[in-house]
Structure 1
């Protein structure tokens, strides 16, 4: 009878080897997020991580449509993206000024982007617009609570609905002959949501922002499952009525943590002292580092991507029914995270409790309704 200890050690060594090879990228079978020669529509593109995403997509050969409200910042971001173009003679760039919190504006910007793109809906749509106004709930006005939800959730939901409708049910229906049964006539489309690490674990001071990003995460989870209806319909031999699209649609989410950007500096103006205390040890990334991590996760084919070690740890600790990027790594990560939380949770709670004990009742803004 084989020695159980030897078997256990052998299995453990095999697991270590597998994890090592996977971490080195030897199991990553090619780029799952090809952007060269394709058009990307990117909201929140005028500064911060969005500006860097636009530039890095340009350097990979994509044509980019940059969307934000501030025209002068958009023009600067567009020039920056153009300067890094992989093929300047063939890549194209366009800017659209729009308020993405409006459903009508999302309809308009997608229509304008499609017209500019020769009547073809952009193949990649990235809902990146967002901002945080952190503070304690009792110091946050109802107006701010609503505006946080409008920008960080509804803007993404509006654009996602418009994009998926345009891809799957175009004004001019697809021809049944354009669909190859069991295959793809065209490369996949990609719909990407920029959420936040706060969607995994909310903390004191993000009472308005956290729920909006959590709602976005839930939306992406639901859409990833829902889109299988349409991807499956392309393989059907009995479909009637509307012809399916000649491509699959892939849903993705990225979850940045602290980004050293003008937006972060603005957040710190309203952030409560206890929130600063809780975030004191968090890793911070530059705008370029965060954009790079997001795109690398997409190129690896990940459904959900954390951008630094803390975001990745929070992701695996909160997966629930969310699809795994890598079953072995994510399951092992969950084991590690479950142990880490034994120490981290009491520390977080102790800091908040200790702040209240030391400082007393937090001051409340009297002008709030």
Structure 2
């Protein structure tokens, strides 16, 4: 990113952004924040009534009320054909142009102990938290990586300089650290981080081809990002807390939480700074630094130094968290399989 660079790596003014899971929570916050920056926003979710309310809410925040456009699409993104359909509808609505930014944000958490969780919920958690983003990413990349036609290149040159397109995946800090009670949810979010790492590597192939074959390659570069929020104050959190095990509540005592607006602003700020694996609050920053592995660094110096500190701190934090779970089991009743 560069220590002193002020370049905006995520310019959305006048561009079209698609957000799945856009009717409430983080998705609604993203819609509002992007509308304030001049984006044309398409919200995707299953419930049309909630979508209509969210659309009215974010449209009121438009930077250019007279010219910005907003749209909703009701779709079940756990189905591959629905992801293809929504992209086709967005392209038609966007005057025949594919969206510039697609944000795979749909997800939900059912935090229960693994052996207590019905198999159908384990499947549904993977469907909404992993497969929905995987289906959308595949459909989006197949659309974006088509070779540019001469007419589309001419149209692009007349409007604005070619800017990269961005595909963004919302994961969770649950992808960094395993916590008792998140077995239905955390593996899917971990898979999303791995998917983002892999797609980022693969996109070098197509972006490189574009450089070497300007008359044959895709019209723009494509960038992959993974946003990793922590606890978000939302209707979804209220539902989670109704089923969450007491030991999970214990482990999360004192955790930071953010409103939908706070997490949206932090996520977009990270994108504007050129980040790839983007956390949205201090606890998330610390967890990311200690668990980077082979993921690209946002800043090689800061991330390396922070990782040294966190890896030393984890010598104490890790055993403490495991000890809390052990002690809870020792001193409380625990349901066992029949």
Q: Which of 245, 248, 254 is matched with 2:227 structurally? A: 254
Gaps of at least 5 residues in structure 2 are: none
Q: Which of 329, 336, 343 is matched with 2:309 structurally? A: 336
**1:108 aligned to 2:109?**
no
Distance 1:234 1:176 in 2: 17
Distance 2:262 2:135 in 1: 28
With over 3 angstroms needed to count, the CA separation of the structure-2 counterparts of 1:352 and 1:31, relative to structure 1, is same
1:1-369 alignment runs, 5 A limit: 27-169=4-146, 173-175=148-150, 178=153, 186-236=162-212, 243-362=216-335
The CA deviation string for residues 225-248 of structure 1, in whole angstroms up to 9 with x for no partner, is 0000011011115x8xx8211211
Distance 2:247 2:164 in 1: 44
Q: State the shift of 1:178 in Å.
A: 3.9
TM (norm. structure 2) is: 0.95
Q: State the shift of 1:343 in Å.
A: 1.2
Q: State the shift of 1:29 in Å.
A: 2.4
Q: State the shift of 1:337 in Å.
A: 0.7
**Which structure is higher in RCO with an 8 Å CA cutoff and minimum separation 6?**
2
Distance 2:35 2:146 in 1: 29
CA contact (8 A) 1:133 1:267 kept: yes
TM (norm. structure 1) is: 0.87
Q: Which SS does the other structure have where 2:73 is aligned?
A: strand
Q: State the shift of 1:281 in Å.
A: 1.7
CA contact (8 A) 1:174 1:244 kept: no
Q: How many residues align?
A: 334
Q: State the shift of 1:363 in Å.
A: 5.4
- Greater Rg over alpha carbons, structure: 1
Q: State the shift of 1:177 in Å.
A: 9.9
